Structure 1
Amino acid sequence: MKLSKVGAAAAIAVALALTATACGGGSDKAGSDAGPSGGAKKDKIVIGIKFDQPGVGLKTPDGKFTGFDVDVATYVAKELGYAPDQIEFKQAVSAERENLLANGDVKLIVASYSINDKRKEKVDFAGPYFLAHQDLLVRADDTSITKAEDLNKKKLCSVTGSTSAQNVKTKLAPEADLQQYPGYSDCLTGLENKAVDALTTDNSILAGYAAQDKNKGKFKLVGLSLSNENYGIGLKKGDKDLQTKVNAAIRKMESDGAWEAAIKKNFGPADYKNEPAPAVTEGS
C-alpha cells in the first residue's frame, strides 16, 4: 500500500522523534550535576549517607532520614538544583564508599567520610565541611580505660573500612585485639554485651549514640582527641566541575548560618562541643 506524501512525511517525523529520544534521553543513573540554570529538568540525585549513625546519618523506622550529614547533603543538593523530593538517599557503608562512586551508583557521598591521601587516590573530595576528633566509647561503669594505651590486651571495635581502629592499633595500642564489625550499631551491641571493651570512631558519631534515649546512662566518651578527622563530600575522581559547585555550596551553608543551625539541631542534645567550620581547601 502506498502512503500519501503527507502520510509519509508524518511517519518520517515520528521516526526521527523516536530516534532522538532514544539517543538523547539517557542520563547518569546517579543524577545530573548541572546547576539550576543547567537547562533540562533533572529527575533526581542519589547521595550516599550512613543509615546507622544517630546525629550524623540515620534512617528511622518510619523511613525518614535525620542527622547533620543529611542536612548538609540536602543543602548541597538544593544548591545543585534539586528539591528535597528529588533526593534519593542510598546507604553507604564505610567499606563500599569508593565503589559506590566509581560505579556511578551515587553522585555524592556525605557519610562521615574523612579526607585522607589513600582515599584521594580513588575519589575526589569537596570540603571539608566538618572537623571531628577520634575518641573512645566505653561502658559507663568502666574505669579501666582512660587513655588509648589502656586498650592493650583489650577488645577494640570499629567498622570494616574505617581508619579509626587501625590508627589506634598501629600508633597507640599495638596489642589491642581489633574487632571489625559491619556497622557501628553492631559494635555498640557488642560493647553493651561485653563482647568488646571499647568502640572507637569520631567523637561526633559516638556522641550521637550515647545521646540516644535508649542508651542514656549506659556509655560514656573517654574524652580523647586521638586524631583530626576532616569530613569531606566524596565525588567521582576527576569531576572538577562538580567539586567546584559543591565547594561553593559548603561555603554558602557556612556563611548564611545554616551550618551552625544544623550543628545545634543534631548535636546540641548531646552537649557536644564542636569545632568551628573548617576552611574549604579541597580542589584549590
Structure 2
Amino acid sequence: MRIRRTSIALAGASALALSLTACGTADVGGGGGGGEGGGEGGGDTITIGVKYDQPGLGLLEGDAPVGFDVDVATYIAGELGYSPDQIEWTEAASANRETFLQQGTVDMVVATYSITDERKNVVDFAGPYYVAQQDIIVASDSTDINGPEDLEGKVLCSASGSRSANNIVDSEEDGGLGIGAELREAGNYSECMQLLADGTVDAVTTDNTILAGFAAQNPESYRMVNNPFGEERYGVGLPKGSTEMCEQVNEAITKMWEEGKTLEYLDTAFGETGFAYAEEQPELDGCA
C-alpha cells in the first residue's frame, strides 16, 4: 500500500481549525442515487452517526460536525440521493454505535468504525473506505515509550467501546500482543487526552488518524510515537440485513476513490499535520 506523506510539519491548533472548517464543504456525489425515499426535493432525511470529539475526523464546530468522516458520509449520502440539507447528524460515540444501529436511531454510522467479526454479528458493514493503523501518543517530554513493547507496566488509556487498548494487553491467543499495561478507561478519546495531559496515564493508543488530529491541536504537548502496528479497517456501519444498502454504499466508496475525492478529503483534514496517509483504495468486503 502506497503512503502519501505530507512535507509540512505538525501545525498548531489554528491551522487545524482552518482545515477543519474546509472539511465541512465536501462536494456531494451524483445526487441522484438510489436511496429509498431520498433524492433532492424528496422531503425525507437520512440520519448519520459521526464522532463529535475527534479533530480531523469528526469534530463538532458550531452546529455541525466537520472532518474526514463527515466528508465521506456527505459524499455517500449524495450518491444515495440525499443533499447536504437532508442529512441529520447525530453524535455516535464508540460505546453506542451498535446500539444506535440496532435501535434505528441512525441509518448509518461513519465514525472511525473498525470492521471486526464480533461487530459483524450485530451490524452490517460497507467498505472499508479507509485503512488506518494503530499507534501511540505520549507527552512530549516522554522518551521511554517508542513502541507497544515499551508499555509494559505503564498506564494506558482505553476509550469505552474501543478495542484499541485490548489489541495491546490481550493475550496472543486472543489476538493481542500480551503486553502487561494497566488500563484506565475513559468515556472517549478526548477524555483520554486530558488524562494524558495531567499525567494520570502514560500513553493513549488508537488509530493513527485520530492521534494525528489530537497531536496537531497541541504539538508542543504531545508526541506521536509514529511506530504503527496492526490495521483498523474503517467501515460504514449499517443495520443488520442491509444488503442492498451495503452494495449502494460500496459503489459510492469506489466512485469516491476513482474521482480523487477521498485523497482530497484526507489532504484537507491532515495536510497540515505531517501525517502519512494511504493513497490507494482498500479492497472492499462483500455484502452478505
Contact 1:125 1:282 in 2 (8 A): no
Contact 1:135 1:201 in 2 (8 A): yes
* Counterpart selection for 2:233 from 227, 230, 235: 230
Contact 2:38 2:45 in 1 (8 A): no
Query: Larger relative contact order (C-alpha < 8 A, sep ≥ 6)?
Result: 2
Look up the SS of the partner of 2:275 in the other structure.
Answer: coil
For 1:47, the equivalent position in structure 2 comes to 48
Contact 1:46 1:89 in 2 (8 A): yes
Structure 2 letter corresponding to 1:99: T
For 2:266, the equivalent position in structure 1 comes to 263
Alpha-carbon displacement from aligned partner over 1:167-204 (angstroms, at most 9, x marks no partner): 11113353211011001110001101000000000000
Task: Using structure 2 for the length normalisation, give the TM-score.
Answer: 0.83
> Offset of 1:77 from its aligned partner?
0.5
* Counterpart selection for 1:203 from 187, 208, 213: 208
Aligned-partner Cα distance in 2 for 1:35–1:137: 44
Contact 2:135 2:226 in 1 (8 A): yes
For 2:9, the equivalent position in structure 1 comes to none
Aligned pair in 2 of structure 1 residues 282, 268: CA closer, same or farther (>3 Å)?
farther
For 1:125, the equivalent position in structure 2 comes to 125
> Offset of 1:256 from its aligned partner?
0.8
> Offset of 1:282 from its aligned partner?
3.3
For 1:58, the equivalent position in structure 2 comes to 59
For 1:241, the equivalent position in structure 2 comes to 244
Alpha-carbon displacement from aligned partner over 1:13-60 (angstroms, at most 9, x marks no partner): xxxxxxxxxxxxxxxxxxx941767x9924211000000000011102
Aligned-partner Cα distance in 2 for 1:108–1:196: 33
Identity of aligned residues (%): 45
1:150 aligns with 2:114: no
Aligned-partner Cα distance in 2 for 1:35–1:41: 7
1:179 aligns with 2:184: yes
Written as runs of structure 1 = structure 2, the 5 A alignment for 1:1-284 is 33-34=35-36, 41-60=42-61, 62-170=62-170, 171-212=176-217, 215-275=218-278, 276-283=280-287
Aligned-partner Cα distance in 2 for 1:205–1:78: 25
Aligned-partner Cα distance in 1 for 2:157–2:282: 28
> Offset of 1:281 from its aligned partner?
2.2
> Offset of 1:161 from its aligned partner?
1.1
Contact 1:136 1:222 in 2 (8 A): yes
In structure 1, runs of 5+ residues without a counterpart are: 1-31
Aligned-partner Cα distance in 1 for 2:252–2:283: 13
> Offset of 1:152 from its aligned partner?
1.4
Contact 1:115 1:229 in 2 (8 A): yes
For 2:16, the equivalent position in structure 1 comes to none
Higher Rg: 1
Alpha-carbon displacement from aligned partner over 1:225-249 (angstroms, at most 9, x marks no partner): 2211110000001111111111111
Aligned pair in 2 of structure 1 residues 117, 274: CA closer, same or farther (>3 Å)?
same
For 1:29, the equivalent position in structure 2 comes to none
For 2:26, the equivalent position in structure 1 comes to none
Structure 2 letter corresponding to 1:279: E
Contact 1:42 1:82 in 2 (8 A): no
Contact 2:64 2:89 in 1 (8 A): no
Report which stretch shifted further, 39-48 or 74-83. Answer: 39-48
> Offset of 1:83 from its aligned partner?
0.8
Aligned-partner Cα distance in 2 for 1:183–1:268: 25
**RMSD of equivalent CA atoms:** 1.7
Alpha-carbon displacement from aligned partner over 1:68-102 (angstroms, at most 9, x marks no partner): 00000000011111111111110111111111001
Report the count of equivalent residues.
Answer: 249
Greater than 3 Å deviation, 4+ residue runs: none
Aligned pair in 2 of structure 1 residues 107, 86: CA closer, same or farther (>3 Å)?
same
